[in-house]
A and B are shown apart, each in its own frame.
Chain A
Amino acid sequence: MNFLLLQALTGLAAASSLFLVSAGLTVIFGVTRVVNFAHGSLYLLGAYIGWSILTRLPTDPGWFVLGILLAGAATALLGLVLETTLLRRIYRAPELLQLLATFGVVLMVQDIALKIWGAQDLALPRPRWLRASVILLGERFPQFDLALIAIGPLVLLLLWLLFTRTRWGTLVRAATQDRDMVAALGVDQRMLFTSVFALGAALAGIGGALALPDGSANLQMDLSIITDAFVVVVVGGLGSLPGAFLASLLIGLLQAFGIVLIPGATSILVFAVMAVVLVLRPHGLLGRAQPVSRAEAPPSVVRAAPASLRWAGVAALALAIAAPLVVGPFALSVLTEMAVAVLFAASLHFMMGPGGMPSFGHAAWFGIGAYTAALAAKSLALPMPAGMLLAPIVAGTVALLFGWFVVRLSGVYLAMLTLAFAQIVWAVAFQSTGLTGGDNGVLGVWPAAWAADPRVFYWLALAVCLGATLALRRVLGSPFGYALRATRDSPLRAAAIGLDDGAIRLAAFAVAGACAGLSGGIAAYSKGSVFPSFIAIGHSVDALLMVLLGGVGTLAGPVIGALAYTGLYDALLLATDLWRFALGAIIVVLVLAFPDGIAGTAQRLWLRGREA
């Protein structure tokens, strides 16, 4: 009994910090409709800045509170800069580009924090009052956690007063519902958006600083908190503050008890709850359907490539086939990596472009394929072809099961659910040390003897990856491909002409998952080992970048994007130890400069040239 109470209190304390961060995220989303990945970075900065401030202040509680508030003010200022320089320019961009641009900021902030504060975790020296505890039912419970528990409802109350009792709050709530109407009433939304963003940033920063006494400032805290905050915001309903509060309690308690019930698998529990909530209430506990306030560009028709591009493709293929005869082993490994990347990107493009299902967790399928192939080789001692065959089968089957939840969602919700799922797969790979070796990975996955020569393996990878990519293109040109695009462009009309859009989307999802799994299976054999990083958010983002770099609206896009991105990435790794910063900056610039991607921009220029 006592134990349950203490665990519940622990959960409530966690819920409070989670609520601070999620409240900022949900308020920002409500008004600006931007899912701000960089919110986790503001949390991280709040912790680091808080550490720098608090370690210089006297250690009394009063100074502590001041230090926390100062950290919040500092992140508010940083949020202000971020909003006016970047966010403001992408409010009308497609959701995925917003996610990507803000992920670019995440990468940049990681390197900045590393440069300023170094790689070690920074913990706060804990004065006596921070270590004090109270006796509850005969058990000791940290006093600071009790204070945390009170902070959540307090912040909710303050925010509620702010939003219901002030003109600013009324304008924000109005803009949350209908931005255009607010503008038509003469309100300058830029001020509104900037101030909302700064408020959200302050909340994230305070949340980060408050995490210091029970933990530390570290370089991983941005992505771990953002995943939890995404789950909270999606479960609570995007844009709903009370929803975020409820969901924080739910998730906080779930994690506190989950650790006891099924240690090491709390993420599965969280995911299961999220899936159930989204199936019962597709817009979250207290959310509602989002009005489409985006000036949506009409989805461009996927066109066949012009003849000149075809010839360029044939020439490139000839070069690719001939390459092993001239290039060295390093270049060959890059080429193999490129072949894998092409299929990985093409599989994401398949569901995202023509299928209209933007995934933020595509690495899940790649990882499942890779681990399947690796474990087939290591644990079952199956020959390589069997492993490579199992990879897409297992990934496709899991995608079919998981897709059942996914295909009924769209937009941000879909992106968030796929992201959460990938995080779960990652956690399973990371935590099941017995099976997967955890962080050490599965090592020694070598190709069969007949393919042991890197050149032979390269040709094999090229044949399989290009074959599967071409097969995907064929499918897009088939009646199924047209049906898929019909469900994307006008679901109602598609239903009216008798298309079962759920089944079509599910099939597309499973095919995409299987192909990504196949690329993962090949990657396992080509690298000789498999690690949880195959499933990390960063790898899902790689796939998105390839597709977006190439352009969603063209068939050649993912291929060009995969080649360009792999080349860029490897070049950056070689060129600078600040590669994260460089990559992040490139992402941001690309999103701002070429929202259509390389192939899309080329296509537009080409079409314009023809029309002129």
Chain B
Amino acid sequence: MLEVEDLHAHYGRAHILQGVSFAIAAGEVLVLIGRNGAGKTTTMKSLIGLVRPTSGAIRFAGADIAGAETYRIARAGLGYVPEERRIFTDLTVMQNLEVGKRPARAGRDPWTPRQLFTLFPNLGEMPTRPGGRMSGGEQQMLAIARTLMGNPSLVLLDEPSEGLAPVIVEQMARAILALKREGVTVLLAEQNLHFAARVADRAAVIETGRIVWTGGIAQLASEAGRYLGV
């Protein structure tokens, strides 16, 4: 469903992504795991078009989207939930969802606010609350729900468990598993190995802008020491 091949990206002169390659099959949850500064966020921003890759190919749903405009990539079915969540703080929960709303994918039912409120019950309790007056966990849920309103076929989740209380992290994990059951493909960026092991099928380990290991999530646990220094 998504193939990334030899992706390079720079910030100014700094060469950040130095040849990232990996692939995700439809319906799969792949975790991109790596330390702070490894290049997870940059990879995701390159995929969604917020960072323009300097070279490499990104094949998604049959087309090369490398360097395409962000809104076109999003319309092609790529959803992006940024690490900083980027909720529209002046808008209410319902209005945030409204911004994300896009037509349904052919042959599939669209996500509705009601379904999303079953997925994230907390949100259902505060439909008119402004995004700026929500807790970190609630904002994270809203960020995911907002992206799902666009009915993406592949969702990029950048460290959804970061900075959240264990109860909320558990809720996130269940939500991701629920997405998977709905047939949504997920690319997850994580540093949290436990969280990754709970939801992912496969893992790709990223170090200083390169994928250094790919394999099943079960093998990762035994190899983790080598790559993640835990």
Interface residues of A (CB under 8 A from B): 167, 170-171, 173-174, 177-178, 180-189, 298
A171 touches B99 (CB 8 A): yes
In the complex, per-residue mask of B54-94: 1 if CB is within 8 Å of any chain A CB, else 0: 00000000000000011100110000101000101111000
Known: A174-B88, A184-B50. 8 other contacts (CB 8 A): A171-B99, A174-B96, A174-B99, A177-B89, A183-B69, A184-B82, A186-B75, A187-B71
Which residue of the partner chain, among B80, B86, B102, contacts A178 with CB atoms under 8 Å?
B86
Given A185-B99, A185-B147, the answer on whether A170 and B91 have CB atoms closer than 8 Å is yes
Given A173-B88, A178-B86, the answer on whether A185 and B98 have CB atoms closer than 8 Å is no
- Measured in the bound complex, the distance between the Cα atoms of B74 and A173 in whole Å is 20
B99 touches A170 (CB 8 A): yes
Chain B residues positioned under 8 Å from A182 (CB to CB): 99
A298 touches B50 (CB 8 A): no
B91 touches A183 (CB 8 A): no
B86 touches A181 (CB 8 A): yes
Chain A residues positioned under 8 Å from B100 (CB to CB): 185-186
Interface residues of B (CB under 8 A from A): 12, 48-50, 69-71, 74-75, 80, 82, 86, 88-91, 95-96, 98-100, 102, 146-147, 150
- Measured in the bound complex, the distance between the Cα atoms of B100 and A34 in whole Å is 25
Chain B residues positioned under 8 Å from A173 (CB to CB): 88, 90-91, 95
B74 touches A183 (CB 8 A): yes
Given A181-B86, A186-B71, the answer on whether A170 and B146 have CB atoms closer than 8 Å is no
- Measured in the bound complex, the distance between the Cα atoms of B89 and A245 in whole Å is 22
- Measured in the bound complex, the distance between the Cα atoms of B163 and A447 in whole Å is 72
Chain B residues positioned under 8 Å from A186 (CB to CB): 71, 74-75, 100, 102, 150
A183 touches B88 (CB 8 A): no
B88 touches A177 (CB 8 A): yes
Pairs across A and B, CB under 8 Å, 16 listed = A174-B91, A174-B99, A181-B82, A181-B86, A183-B50, A183-B70, A183-B74, A185-B146, A185-B147, A185-B150, A186-B71, A186-B75, A186-B150, A187-B99, A188-B71, A189-B71
B106 to A: closest C-beta gap in Å: 16
Chain B residues positioned under 8 Å from A187 (CB to CB): 71, 99
Chain B residues positioned under 8 Å from A178 (CB to CB): 86, 88
B70 touches A167 (CB 8 A): no
- Measured in the bound complex, the distance between the Cα atoms of B101 and A167 in whole Å is 10
Q: Which 5 pairs of residues, A with B, have the shortest CB-CB distance?
A: A186-B74, A183-B70, A181-B86, A174-B99, A174-B88
Q: Name the residue on B nearest A179 (C-beta).
A: B70
B84 to A: closest C-beta gap in Å: 10
Chain B residues positioned under 8 Å from A171 (CB to CB): 99
- Measured in the bound complex, the distance between the Cα atoms of B49 and A320 in whole Å is 52
A184 touches B74 (CB 8 A): yes
Chain B residues positioned under 8 Å from A189 (CB to CB): 71
- Measured in the bound complex, the distance between the Cα atoms of B48 and A174 in whole Å is 18
B9 to A: closest C-beta gap in Å: 14
Q: Name the residue on B nearest A185 (C-beta).
A: B100
Chain B residues positioned under 8 Å from A183 (CB to CB): 49-50, 69-71, 74
B74 touches A170 (CB 8 A): no
- Measured in the bound complex, the distance between the Cα atoms of B97 and A274 in whole Å is 38
Chain A residues positioned under 8 Å from B99 (CB to CB): 170-171, 174, 182, 185, 187
Chain A residues positioned under 8 Å from B70 (CB to CB): 180, 183-184
B48 touches A184 (CB 8 A): yes
B43 to A: closest C-beta gap in Å: 15
Chain A residues positioned under 8 Å from B86 (CB to CB): 178, 181
Chain B residues positioned under 8 Å from A180 (CB to CB): 50, 70
- Measured in the bound complex, the distance between the Cα atoms of B102 and A167 in whole Å is 12
A167 touches B50 (CB 8 A): no
- Measured in the bound complex, the distance between the Cα atoms of B218 and A320 in whole Å is 78
- Measured in the bound complex, the distance between the Cα atoms of B96 and A177 in whole Å is 12
